Structure formats: structure tokens, C-alpha cells
Amino acid sequence: MIKTVSVIQDEFTQIASTAFDYAFDGTSIFKCWDKPNIPDEFNIGVIVGASGTGKSTLLKEFGNEEIPQWDEDKAIVSHFNTPEDAIDKLTAVGLNSIPSWCRPYHVLSTGEKFRADLARKLKDNSVIDEFTSVVDRNVAKAASTALSKYIRNNSIHNIILATCHEDILEWLEPDWIFNTNNGELLVGRCLQRPQINIKIYPCKYSIWTMFKNYHYLRDDINKSARCYLGVWDDKVIGFASAIANPSGTLKNAWREHRTVILPDYQGMGIGVKLSDTIAQIFINEGKRYFGRTAHPRMGEHRDQCGLWKKTSKYKKQRLDILNQTKIYNNYLADSSRICYSHEYIGNDKSDYLK
């Protein structure tokens, strides 16, 4: 395709073009790629190429991008069809900070705004330009992973992304890629998401100060907790801890205390794997291990992965601590929350936690 655009010639255009020996008559000509012959139905398609190669122009051949509007007087969580829809989509793009959900859009960080906008665009036939252009590359990879999982798991169709960043393609695993640098179309999921190898190290509880502001519920920690750091490519990305869970009937039992993944790395499934791995460490030591959470992603993972079994307290109000407001077995009573409650049992899949 050939497209032209004209502007009024004035002193500014004349001086600028003359200074750089650019012959300019007021008209610019663009050579644009024809719309490629893509499959009729797919989950994710990507238009990729350097700046100025016609990505945005080609993207418009598939539709106009919807720009979400945000009410400054409302929390971002209040801008979805239902509360359930909000929780589902915000966690789907890796925006897992509950405090951030309850804030207005204009006070969010650049990365949080990107994820919030992305959550509002998750529907059939969406076109999204400049995908991940305004965020750190770690955020880009995490958001790409989370987006891909959500779209496929929920059978969302014909979402097309335009980006100048090739580093996210293997994390998206798109159904087709059109490269505006050379006009090449690749159809089929020819890329495989890289393996994420996390190293886990014991650490002091004082390291919690790096993570406390990112926990979805509390910023405190029990000083008797056994604590661990998660490290990926020499970068600290996560924290996990466990505390003893003594009772009249349970012996040699521990329970999950705090698990946090830094925001830039949320949405990649690291948190649930880190939690599973810490649980396996205790099982290997001959201990029983329990986890209780109100976070839907963590709870649903434990329901489905086969490594955890539901306890008798699963999604039940804790009547045994209903009237207590201070301390119960060395931790704060939280009888008002209806939580997922599981015991870790592991399985024979020796490669699951690699």
C-alpha cells in the first residue's frame, strides 16, 4: 500500500528541510505492508518490527484500539463489569497488589498503569499498539506470560499486538507473527516459552523489609519464621517464609507465613511454584505443611495442581477463633476472611518443581 500525507509549508519546514538538504514539498509518502493472509481464528497474533516500519498503520487494518477511560474518583477495581471480572482480569495481567486495585488510576506507577489498561482490553478482537513499549523488560516478559495464559485459558480470540520488542515473543507464544522489517509472516506456534530457573537460599527474617510493602495483606512478619529468597538470573525476585504450627492434634507441623514476588515479576507463575517448593522442603524433612490464603490465584492453583489437599477449614469461617482479636497460636486471628485452606501432599512428578 502507498499512503500520502500533506502539511502546510511554512518557515519552520523550509528552514528544517533546507538545513539538512531534504527536498520537501509538503507531502510525505509511506509504503505500507498489505494486510497479511492470517488465519481466520486464533488467540494471539503479533505485528513486530522496528519503529517506522508501518506497524501501527498495518494494525489499523484490523481495527481501532480501544483506550480505557478512568474515573479519578474511583478505584481501578471499580471499572470492570463485575467484582469477579475485575479480580480475574487484574490478576491475569500480573497486577496482584490488592492495595493498588483500590487506588485511582492516576496515582499508579507506569508499570501498574500498563497492566491496568491491559486488563481492560482483554476481550475478543482487541488490537493493542505499542505493547510493552513503556515498561521495564522484566515487566514486559511477566505481562506477556500472564496475558498469554489468560487468553488461552479463557478462549479469547483474535487479539493482535503491535510491538517493536522481539524479546517478548517467546513469552507470548503467538499463533502468528508478521515482521514489518522484511514482510515475513510466520504462522503456527513456533516459539516456546523459556524455562524459568529459580534458585532458593535461606535468609534472615530482616530481609522481609525488601518485600513487606508488596504483600497483598500484611507487612509484618514473625521473627521466628524460617525465611527464603528466590533468585532469578542473579536478581532477587521473591521471598517466602514458614512458621511452626503447633496445636493439640498436630505434631511437627509448619504452615506458610509470607510469600511475595516483586511486582515486576508477577504474572509468570513464580509465586505458586516458590510456595510449592518451600512446602516440599518441609515434607522432605518429615514435617507436615499447611497453607491458608485468600488470594484467588494461589488458592485456585492449589485446588487444581494435585500437590495440595483441602483441609476441613477450606473456605469456612474460623468459628474457633471468631471471638478472638489478638493472638491465636502465635499469629493474628483473621476469622472474618473466608480462605482457601490446604495441606501439602506432593506427588510423584519429580520434575514438577524444577
Domain ranges of the chain: 1-31, 34-187, 199-344
- Residues 266 and 95: their CA atoms lie apart, in Å, by 7
Asked if residue 180 has pLDDT above 90, the reply is yes
AA letter at 80? F
Contact 1, 34 (CB under 8 A): yes
- Residues 33 and 60: their CA atoms lie apart, in Å, by 12
pLDDT tens sequence across 67-83 = 999 999 999 999 999 99
pLDDT tens sequence across 162-177 = 999 999 999 999 999 9
Contact 238, 267 (CB under 8 A): no
pLDDT of residue 322: 45
**Domain 34-187, CATH:** 3.40.50.300
- Residues 232 and 214: their CA atoms lie apart, in Å, by 18
Q: How confident is the model at residue 18 (pLDDT cuts 50, 70, 90)?
A: very high
Name which residue leads in pLDDT, 98 or 61. Answer: 61
Q: Which CATH superfamily is domain 199-344 in?
A: Gcn5-related N-acetyltransferase (GNAT) (3.40.630.30)
Tell me the average pLDDT across 133-157.
91
- Residues 156 and 177: their CA atoms lie apart, in Å, by 18
CB atoms within 10 A of CB 137: 12
pTM metric for this prediction = 0.80
Residue 274, CA distances (Å) to 48, 248, 258, 270, 271 in order: 33, 29, 11, 6, 5
Tell me the average pLDDT across 77-91.
94
Note whether 34-187 and 199-344 share their fold: no
Residues in contact with 331: Cβ distance below 8 Å, sequence separation at least 6, in sequence order: 222, 243, 257
Residue 194, CA distances (Å) to 36, 163, 169, 294, 328 in order: 28, 19, 10, 30, 43
